Amino acid sequence: MPENTTHKAPAWLTEDYVEKKLRVYFKNDSLSVEKLEVKPATANGENYASVMTRINVEYTTKDKKDKQDATFLLKTTFADKDPAAHLLFNYGIYTREMDMYEQILPHLALIVRKDLQDTRKMFAATVNVDRERDSIIFEDLSLEQYKVACRLKKLDLEHTHLVLDKLAKFHAAGAALAEQQPEIFKKNYDRGFFNKHVRGYEPIMKNILIALSRTLELHPDLKERYQAKIDRLVDNIMDYGERSTSSNPGDFLTLAHGDIWTTNVMFQYDDEGHPANAIFIDFQFSVWNSPAIDLHYFFSTSIHENLRLHNQTELVQFYYYRLVEALKKVNYLGNVPSLFEFQQQFRARAFYAVFSSLIFEPTMVYHGKEEPSIEQFMSHDEKGIRLRDAVYQIEETQKKLHLTLPFLDQFGLLDEM
Protein backbone atom coordinates (compact mmCIF):
# COMPACT_ATOMS: atom_id res chain seq x y z
CA MET A 1 0.00 0.00 0.00
CA PRO A 2 1.19 3.55 -0.65
CA GLU A 3 2.76 5.43 2.20
CA ASN A 4 0.18 8.22 2.08
CA THR A 5 -2.67 5.93 3.02
CA THR A 6 -4.69 7.77 5.66
CA HIS A 7 -7.09 5.02 6.66
CA LYS A 8 -6.55 1.56 8.06
CA ALA A 9 -7.68 -0.47 5.09
CA PRO A 10 -8.22 -4.25 4.86
CA ALA A 11 -4.94 -6.08 4.28
CA TRP A 12 -6.31 -7.55 1.06
CA LEU A 13 -7.06 -4.12 -0.45
CA THR A 14 -3.92 -3.93 -2.56
CA GLU A 15 -3.12 -2.36 -5.89
CA ASP A 16 -3.24 -5.82 -7.49
CA TYR A 17 -6.69 -6.49 -6.04
CA VAL A 18 -8.13 -3.18 -7.21
CA GLU A 19 -6.49 -3.57 -10.61
CA LYS A 20 -8.15 -6.96 -11.19
CA LYS A 21 -11.59 -5.63 -10.22
CA LEU A 22 -11.27 -2.51 -12.38
CA ARG A 23 -10.13 -4.53 -15.38
CA VAL A 24 -13.40 -6.47 -15.19
CA TYR A 25 -15.50 -3.37 -14.54
CA PHE A 26 -13.99 -1.35 -17.39
CA LYS A 27 -13.64 -4.46 -19.59
CA ASN A 28 -10.03 -3.61 -20.27
CA ASP A 29 -7.28 -6.13 -19.47
CA SER A 30 -4.59 -3.54 -20.14
CA LEU A 31 -5.61 -1.37 -17.19
CA SER A 32 -2.75 -0.85 -14.76
CA VAL A 33 -3.10 0.78 -11.33
CA GLU A 34 -0.24 3.22 -10.77
CA LYS A 35 -1.28 4.63 -7.42
CA LEU A 36 -3.81 3.72 -4.76
CA GLU A 37 -4.90 5.97 -1.89
CA VAL A 38 -7.35 4.92 0.79
CA LYS A 39 -9.18 7.06 3.32
CA PRO A 40 -12.36 6.93 5.43
CA ALA A 41 -15.56 7.85 3.60
CA THR A 42 -17.89 8.51 6.53
CA ALA A 43 -17.58 10.37 9.80
CA ASN A 44 -18.36 9.00 13.26
CA GLY A 45 -22.07 8.57 13.84
CA GLU A 46 -22.94 8.17 10.16
CA ASN A 47 -22.65 4.41 9.84
CA TYR A 48 -22.92 1.82 12.60
CA ALA A 49 -23.36 -1.29 10.46
CA SER A 50 -20.31 -1.30 8.17
CA VAL A 51 -17.06 0.41 7.24
CA MET A 52 -17.00 2.81 4.29
CA THR A 53 -13.70 3.52 2.58
CA ARG A 54 -12.97 5.86 -0.33
CA ILE A 55 -10.51 4.52 -2.89
CA ASN A 56 -8.64 7.02 -5.06
CA VAL A 57 -6.97 5.38 -8.04
CA GLU A 58 -4.54 6.55 -10.69
CA TYR A 59 -4.37 4.15 -13.63
CA THR A 60 -3.24 3.84 -17.23
CA THR A 61 -4.47 1.72 -20.13
CA LYS A 62 -2.89 0.55 -23.35
CA ASP A 63 -4.84 3.03 -25.45
CA LYS A 64 -4.42 5.92 -22.97
CA LYS A 65 -0.90 6.26 -21.63
CA ASP A 66 -1.67 9.40 -19.63
CA LYS A 67 -2.68 8.70 -16.06
CA GLN A 68 -6.40 8.76 -15.34
CA ASP A 69 -8.02 9.37 -11.98
CA ALA A 70 -11.00 7.51 -10.58
CA THR A 71 -12.65 7.32 -7.19
CA PHE A 72 -14.73 4.50 -5.77
CA LEU A 73 -16.30 3.52 -2.46
CA LEU A 74 -15.60 0.26 -0.70
CA LYS A 75 -18.07 -1.11 1.81
CA THR A 76 -16.84 -3.82 4.17
CA THR A 77 -17.97 -5.58 7.31
CA PHE A 78 -16.48 -4.98 10.71
CA ALA A 79 -13.55 -7.16 11.71
CA ASP A 80 -14.55 -10.53 13.14
CA LYS A 81 -13.39 -9.52 16.61
CA ASP A 82 -15.72 -6.51 16.68
CA PRO A 83 -18.90 -7.30 18.67
CA ALA A 84 -20.89 -5.56 15.96
CA ALA A 85 -19.83 -8.18 13.43
CA HIS A 86 -21.47 -11.01 15.36
CA LEU A 87 -24.63 -9.03 16.05
CA LEU A 88 -25.10 -7.94 12.45
CA PHE A 89 -24.12 -11.28 10.91
CA ASN A 90 -27.14 -12.93 12.51
CA TYR A 91 -29.40 -10.50 10.67
CA GLY A 92 -27.93 -11.65 7.36
CA ILE A 93 -27.32 -8.06 6.35
CA TYR A 94 -24.07 -8.51 4.46
CA THR A 95 -25.34 -11.33 2.27
CA ARG A 96 -28.57 -9.44 1.73
CA GLU A 97 -26.92 -6.26 0.54
CA MET A 98 -24.69 -8.16 -1.85
CA ASP A 99 -27.80 -9.90 -3.17
CA MET A 100 -29.49 -6.52 -3.51
CA TYR A 101 -26.70 -5.06 -5.61
CA GLU A 102 -26.19 -8.15 -7.75
CA GLN A 103 -29.73 -9.49 -8.14
CA ILE A 104 -32.38 -6.97 -7.10
CA LEU A 105 -31.36 -3.38 -7.79
CA PRO A 106 -30.60 -3.91 -11.50
CA HIS A 107 -34.16 -5.27 -11.95
CA LEU A 108 -35.70 -2.42 -9.98
CA ALA A 109 -33.75 0.19 -11.94
CA LEU A 110 -34.96 -1.34 -15.21
CA ILE A 111 -38.59 -1.29 -14.06
CA VAL A 112 -38.31 2.34 -13.00
CA ARG A 113 -36.64 3.35 -16.23
CA LYS A 114 -38.83 1.29 -18.58
CA ASP A 115 -42.28 1.23 -16.96
CA LEU A 116 -42.20 4.40 -14.87
CA GLN A 117 -40.20 6.22 -17.55
CA ASP A 118 -38.00 7.87 -14.93
CA THR A 119 -34.51 8.09 -16.38
CA ARG A 120 -32.93 9.57 -13.28
CA LYS A 121 -30.38 7.45 -11.46
CA MET A 122 -31.89 5.24 -8.75
CA PHE A 123 -28.81 3.64 -7.17
CA ALA A 124 -25.04 3.73 -7.30
CA ALA A 125 -23.52 1.47 -9.95
CA THR A 126 -21.77 -1.62 -8.62
CA VAL A 127 -18.13 -2.11 -9.56
CA ASN A 128 -17.65 -5.43 -7.78
CA VAL A 129 -19.26 -7.73 -5.21
CA ASP A 130 -16.79 -9.93 -3.36
CA ARG A 131 -18.65 -12.54 -1.33
CA GLU A 132 -15.45 -14.11 -0.01
CA ARG A 133 -14.54 -10.83 1.67
CA ASP A 134 -18.09 -9.55 2.28
CA SER A 135 -17.33 -6.37 0.40
CA ILE A 136 -18.84 -4.20 -2.32
CA ILE A 137 -17.15 -1.57 -4.48
CA PHE A 138 -19.45 1.19 -5.80
CA GLU A 139 -19.10 4.19 -8.04
CA ASP A 140 -18.47 7.36 -6.04
CA LEU A 141 -21.55 9.49 -6.62
CA SER A 142 -19.90 12.56 -5.17
CA LEU A 143 -18.22 12.87 -8.56
CA GLU A 144 -21.68 13.59 -10.00
CA GLN A 145 -22.27 16.18 -7.28
CA TYR A 146 -24.49 13.88 -5.24
CA LYS A 147 -24.20 14.59 -1.56
CA VAL A 148 -25.77 13.62 1.73
CA ALA A 149 -27.90 16.21 3.52
CA CYS A 150 -26.97 17.23 7.05
CA ARG A 151 -28.20 14.62 9.54
CA LEU A 152 -28.45 17.35 12.18
CA LYS A 153 -30.42 19.93 10.19
CA LYS A 154 -32.63 17.30 8.54
CA LEU A 155 -34.89 17.66 5.51
CA ASP A 156 -37.34 20.37 4.55
CA LEU A 157 -40.59 19.80 2.65
CA GLU A 158 -39.00 19.99 -0.80
CA HIS A 159 -36.43 17.30 0.03
CA THR A 160 -39.08 15.24 1.85
CA HIS A 161 -41.44 15.23 -1.14
CA LEU A 162 -38.60 14.13 -3.43
CA VAL A 163 -37.66 11.23 -1.14
CA LEU A 164 -41.32 10.14 -0.86
CA ASP A 165 -41.70 10.23 -4.64
CA LYS A 166 -38.62 8.05 -5.07
CA LEU A 167 -39.74 5.74 -2.26
CA ALA A 168 -43.11 5.24 -3.97
CA LYS A 169 -41.33 4.22 -7.16
CA PHE A 170 -38.94 1.95 -5.27
CA HIS A 171 -41.85 0.25 -3.49
CA ALA A 172 -43.93 -0.08 -6.66
CA ALA A 173 -40.99 -1.59 -8.53
CA GLY A 174 -40.40 -4.04 -5.69
CA ALA A 175 -44.04 -5.16 -5.75
CA ALA A 176 -43.92 -5.59 -9.53
CA LEU A 177 -40.68 -7.58 -9.35
CA ALA A 178 -42.22 -9.91 -6.77
CA GLU A 179 -45.09 -10.62 -9.16
CA GLN A 180 -42.70 -11.24 -12.04
CA GLN A 181 -40.40 -13.48 -9.97
CA PRO A 182 -42.46 -14.83 -7.03
CA GLU A 183 -39.50 -16.48 -5.28
CA ILE A 184 -37.07 -13.59 -5.46
CA PHE A 185 -37.75 -12.22 -1.94
CA LYS A 186 -38.48 -15.54 -0.23
CA LYS A 187 -34.97 -15.96 1.19
CA ASN A 188 -33.20 -13.56 3.57
CA TYR A 189 -35.67 -10.69 3.31
CA ASP A 190 -37.44 -11.42 6.59
CA ARG A 191 -34.99 -9.90 9.07
CA GLY A 192 -35.43 -6.21 9.68
CA PHE A 193 -34.63 -4.58 13.01
CA PHE A 194 -37.65 -6.46 14.38
CA ASN A 195 -38.36 -10.01 13.23
CA LYS A 196 -39.28 -13.45 14.55
CA HIS A 197 -35.83 -15.00 14.09
CA VAL A 198 -33.21 -12.92 15.89
CA ARG A 199 -33.17 -10.27 18.62
CA GLY A 200 -29.61 -9.08 18.36
CA TYR A 201 -30.59 -5.43 18.80
CA GLU A 202 -32.43 -6.12 22.05
CA PRO A 203 -29.58 -5.21 24.46
CA ILE A 204 -28.85 -2.03 22.50
CA MET A 205 -32.47 -0.91 22.51
CA LYS A 206 -32.92 -1.71 26.20
CA ASN A 207 -29.69 0.03 27.19
CA ILE A 208 -30.65 3.20 25.34
CA LEU A 209 -34.15 3.23 26.83
CA ILE A 210 -32.65 2.83 30.31
CA ALA A 211 -30.45 5.85 29.57
CA LEU A 212 -33.57 7.74 28.50
CA SER A 213 -35.20 6.87 31.81
CA ARG A 214 -32.15 8.24 33.67
CA THR A 215 -32.34 11.41 31.61
CA LEU A 216 -35.95 11.97 32.65
CA GLU A 217 -34.67 12.46 36.20
CA LEU A 218 -33.46 15.85 34.98
CA HIS A 219 -36.97 16.88 33.93
CA PRO A 220 -39.49 16.49 36.79
CA ASP A 221 -42.45 17.16 34.53
CA LEU A 222 -41.41 14.51 32.03
CA LYS A 223 -40.38 12.10 34.75
CA GLU A 224 -43.81 12.20 36.37
CA ARG A 225 -45.65 11.63 33.11
CA TYR A 226 -43.39 9.27 31.21
CA GLN A 227 -40.68 7.53 33.26
CA ALA A 228 -42.87 4.61 34.35
CA LYS A 229 -43.97 4.15 30.74
CA ILE A 230 -40.39 4.14 29.46
CA ASP A 231 -39.36 1.68 32.19
CA ARG A 232 -42.17 -0.66 31.15
CA LEU A 233 -41.19 -0.26 27.53
CA VAL A 234 -37.70 -1.59 28.32
CA ASP A 235 -39.16 -5.04 28.95
CA ASN A 236 -41.53 -4.98 25.98
CA ILE A 237 -39.64 -3.22 23.21
CA MET A 238 -38.95 -6.33 21.14
CA ASP A 239 -42.45 -7.80 21.52
CA TYR A 240 -44.10 -4.54 20.50
CA GLY A 241 -41.63 -4.05 17.68
CA GLU A 242 -42.25 -7.51 16.27
CA ARG A 243 -45.97 -6.89 16.49
CA SER A 244 -45.59 -3.65 14.55
CA THR A 245 -43.93 -5.48 11.65
CA SER A 246 -46.36 -8.41 11.50
CA SER A 247 -48.56 -8.49 8.42
CA ASN A 248 -52.34 -8.32 8.57
CA PRO A 249 -54.75 -9.71 5.94
CA GLY A 250 -55.17 -7.24 3.10
CA ASP A 251 -51.96 -5.32 3.81
CA PHE A 252 -50.04 -4.03 0.83
CA LEU A 253 -46.56 -5.52 1.12
CA THR A 254 -43.42 -4.88 -0.89
CA LEU A 255 -39.66 -4.54 -0.59
CA ALA A 256 -39.00 -1.88 2.03
CA HIS A 257 -35.61 -0.17 2.21
CA GLY A 258 -35.59 -0.80 5.96
CA ASP A 259 -33.09 1.89 7.00
CA ILE A 260 -34.19 5.00 5.16
CA TRP A 261 -32.77 8.03 6.96
CA THR A 262 -30.84 11.15 6.05
CA THR A 263 -27.42 9.55 5.66
CA ASN A 264 -28.78 6.79 3.40
CA VAL A 265 -30.12 9.26 0.83
CA MET A 266 -27.96 11.29 -1.55
CA PHE A 267 -29.22 14.36 -3.37
CA GLN A 268 -28.27 15.99 -6.63
CA TYR A 269 -29.12 19.68 -7.09
CA ASP A 270 -29.99 21.88 -10.05
CA ASP A 271 -28.35 25.19 -10.88
CA GLU A 272 -30.73 27.05 -8.57
CA GLY A 273 -29.94 24.83 -5.59
CA HIS A 274 -33.14 22.80 -5.61
CA PRO A 275 -32.95 19.01 -5.15
CA ALA A 276 -33.37 17.43 -8.59
CA ASN A 277 -32.85 13.77 -7.74
CA ALA A 278 -32.45 11.50 -4.75
CA ILE A 279 -30.87 8.08 -4.70
CA PHE A 280 -30.89 5.48 -1.95
CA ILE A 281 -27.85 3.72 -0.55
CA ASP A 282 -27.24 1.10 2.16
CA PHE A 283 -29.61 -1.83 1.62
CA GLN A 284 -28.44 -4.03 4.48
CA PHE A 285 -31.82 -4.04 6.22
CA SER A 286 -34.05 -4.25 3.16
CA VAL A 287 -37.02 -6.40 4.08
CA TRP A 288 -40.29 -7.68 2.67
CA ASN A 289 -42.88 -5.80 4.71
CA SER A 290 -45.28 -2.89 4.70
CA PRO A 291 -43.95 0.31 3.10
CA ALA A 292 -45.36 2.01 6.21
CA ILE A 293 -42.26 0.99 8.17
CA ASP A 294 -40.13 3.04 5.77
CA LEU A 295 -42.45 6.01 6.21
CA HIS A 296 -42.40 5.87 10.02
CA TYR A 297 -38.64 5.42 10.11
CA PHE A 298 -38.03 8.25 7.65
CA PHE A 299 -40.44 10.65 9.36
CA SER A 300 -39.02 9.88 12.81
CA THR A 301 -35.36 10.27 11.91
CA SER A 302 -34.98 12.60 8.97
CA ILE A 303 -37.47 15.44 8.48
CA HIS A 304 -37.94 18.82 10.11
CA GLU A 305 -39.70 18.76 13.45
CA ASN A 306 -42.72 20.75 12.30
CA LEU A 307 -43.28 18.24 9.48
CA ARG A 308 -42.84 15.26 11.78
CA LEU A 309 -45.22 16.58 14.41
CA HIS A 310 -47.90 18.20 12.25
CA ASN A 311 -47.81 16.94 8.67
CA GLN A 312 -47.44 13.17 8.69
CA THR A 313 -51.00 12.44 7.55
CA GLU A 314 -50.59 14.80 4.58
CA LEU A 315 -47.21 13.30 3.75
CA VAL A 316 -48.66 9.79 3.79
CA GLN A 317 -51.35 11.00 1.39
CA PHE A 318 -48.69 12.53 -0.89
CA TYR A 319 -46.76 9.25 -0.87
CA TYR A 320 -49.89 7.16 -1.39
CA TYR A 321 -50.96 8.96 -4.57
CA ARG A 322 -47.45 8.59 -5.99
CA LEU A 323 -47.50 4.88 -5.08
CA VAL A 324 -50.87 4.22 -6.73
CA GLU A 325 -49.77 6.02 -9.88
CA ALA A 326 -46.57 3.97 -10.01
CA LEU A 327 -48.38 0.67 -9.35
CA LYS A 328 -50.65 1.32 -12.31
CA LYS A 329 -47.70 2.01 -14.60
CA VAL A 330 -45.89 -1.20 -13.60
CA ASN A 331 -49.12 -3.18 -14.17
CA TYR A 332 -49.29 -4.39 -10.60
CA LEU A 333 -52.07 -6.99 -10.33
CA GLY A 334 -52.35 -7.29 -6.56
CA ASN A 335 -54.74 -5.51 -4.25
CA VAL A 336 -54.16 -1.78 -4.01
CA PRO A 337 -55.56 -0.38 -0.75
CA SER A 338 -57.67 2.75 -0.64
CA LEU A 339 -56.17 5.83 0.96
CA PHE A 340 -58.31 5.17 4.04
CA GLU A 341 -57.03 1.59 4.23
CA PHE A 342 -53.44 2.68 3.74
CA GLN A 343 -53.72 5.33 6.44
CA GLN A 344 -54.96 2.55 8.74
CA GLN A 345 -52.01 0.40 7.72
CA PHE A 346 -49.72 3.32 8.55
CA ARG A 347 -51.32 3.70 11.99
CA ALA A 348 -51.10 -0.04 12.63
CA ARG A 349 -47.31 0.24 12.22
CA ALA A 350 -47.07 3.33 14.43
CA PHE A 351 -44.98 1.64 17.12
CA TYR A 352 -42.17 1.73 14.56
CA ALA A 353 -42.04 5.45 15.28
CA VAL A 354 -41.31 4.77 18.96
CA PHE A 355 -38.03 2.96 18.52
CA SER A 356 -37.10 5.17 15.54
CA SER A 357 -37.57 8.44 17.40
CA LEU A 358 -36.62 7.47 20.97
CA ILE A 359 -33.79 4.99 20.35
CA PHE A 360 -32.25 5.38 16.91
CA GLU A 361 -32.77 9.08 16.17
CA PRO A 362 -30.88 10.34 19.26
CA THR A 363 -27.89 8.19 18.28
CA MET A 364 -28.08 9.44 14.69
CA VAL A 365 -27.83 13.10 15.66
CA TYR A 366 -25.32 12.61 18.48
CA HIS A 367 -22.25 14.81 17.99
CA GLY A 368 -20.66 14.90 21.44
CA LYS A 369 -17.22 13.93 22.71
CA GLU A 370 -17.88 10.24 23.34
CA GLU A 371 -17.07 7.97 20.40
CA PRO A 372 -20.23 6.05 19.39
CA SER A 373 -20.10 2.39 18.37
CA ILE A 374 -22.34 -0.64 18.51
CA GLU A 375 -19.96 -2.13 21.08
CA GLN A 376 -20.43 0.82 23.43
CA PHE A 377 -24.21 0.80 23.01
CA MET A 378 -24.18 -2.87 24.03
CA SER A 379 -21.66 -2.54 26.86
CA HIS A 380 -22.57 -2.29 30.54
CA ASP A 381 -19.23 -0.81 31.56
CA GLU A 382 -18.68 2.80 32.59
CA LYS A 383 -17.66 3.91 29.11
CA GLY A 384 -20.80 2.48 27.55
CA ILE A 385 -23.09 4.04 30.16
CA ARG A 386 -21.33 7.38 29.72
CA LEU A 387 -21.91 7.28 25.96
CA ARG A 388 -25.59 6.41 26.26
CA ASP A 389 -26.17 9.13 28.82
CA ALA A 390 -24.29 11.59 26.61
CA VAL A 391 -26.58 10.78 23.68
CA TYR A 392 -29.50 12.28 25.61
CA GLN A 393 -27.50 15.21 26.98
CA ILE A 394 -27.27 16.91 23.59
CA GLU A 395 -29.24 20.14 23.95
CA GLU A 396 -31.34 19.56 20.84
CA THR A 397 -32.26 16.06 22.01
CA GLN A 398 -33.21 17.35 25.45
CA LYS A 399 -35.56 19.89 23.89
CA LYS A 400 -36.98 17.33 21.50
CA LEU A 401 -38.04 15.02 24.33
CA HIS A 402 -40.61 17.62 25.38
CA LEU A 403 -42.17 17.29 21.93
CA THR A 404 -41.60 13.65 21.05
CA LEU A 405 -42.87 12.01 24.23
CA PRO A 406 -46.28 13.79 24.20
CA PHE A 407 -46.55 13.18 20.44
CA LEU A 408 -46.10 9.42 20.84
CA ASP A 409 -48.11 9.24 24.03
CA GLN A 410 -51.24 10.75 22.50
CA PHE A 411 -51.52 7.72 20.21
CA GLY A 412 -51.19 5.30 23.12
CA LEU A 413 -47.79 4.19 21.87
CA LEU A 414 -46.15 4.44 25.30
CA ASP A 415 -48.93 2.57 27.09
CA GLU A 416 -49.20 -1.18 27.55
CA MET A 417 -50.11 -2.66 24.18
Read off φ and ψ for residue 71, nearest 5 degrees.
-130, 135
| Range 105-110, long-range pairs (CB < 8 A, 24+ positions) | 105/283, 107/173, 107/177, 107/181, 108/170, 108/173, 108/174, 108/177, 108/255
User: For position 47, what pLDDT does the model report?
Assistant: 55
How is 155-208 classified by DSSP, letter by letter? B-HHHHHHHHHHHHHHHHHHHHHHHHSTTTTSSS-S-SSS-SS--TTHHHHHHH
User: For position 94, what pLDDT does the model report?
Assistant: 84
pLDDT in tens, 155-175: 999 999 999 999 999 999 999
User: For position 11, what pLDDT does the model report?
Assistant: 86
- Spatial distance between the Cα atoms of 168 and 102, rounded to a whole number of angstroms: 22
User: For position 1, what pLDDT does the model report?
Assistant: 30
User: For position 82, what pLDDT does the model report?
Assistant: 61
Beta strands (DSSP E) in 275-409 are: 275-280, 287-289
Task: Please say whether the dihedral angle defined by the alpha carbons of residues 67, 130, 148 and 78, taken in this order, is positive or negative.
Answer: negative
Considering the entire predicted model, what is its pTM?
0.92
- What tens-digit pLDDT sequence spans the chain (417 residues)? 333 334 467 889 999 999 999 999 999 999 999 999 998 876 654 555 678 899 999 999 998 878 899 999 999 876 555 666 677 778 888 889 999 999 999 999 999 999 999 999 999 989 999 999 889 999 999 889 999 999 999 999 999 999 999 999 999 999 999 999 999 999 889 999 999 999 989 999 999 999 999 999 999 999 999 999 999 999 999 999 999 999 988 899 999 999 999 999 999 999 999 999 999 999 999 999 999 999 999 999 999 999 999 999 999 999 999 999 999 999 999 999 999 999 999 999 999 999 999 999 999 999 998 888 888 898 889 999 999 999 999 999 999 999 999 999 999 999 998
User: For position 259, what pLDDT does the model report?
Assistant: 96
Contacts of 278 (CB under 8 A, 6+ apart): 159, 162, 163, 166, 265, 266, 267, 268
User: For position 229, what pLDDT does the model report?
Assistant: 98
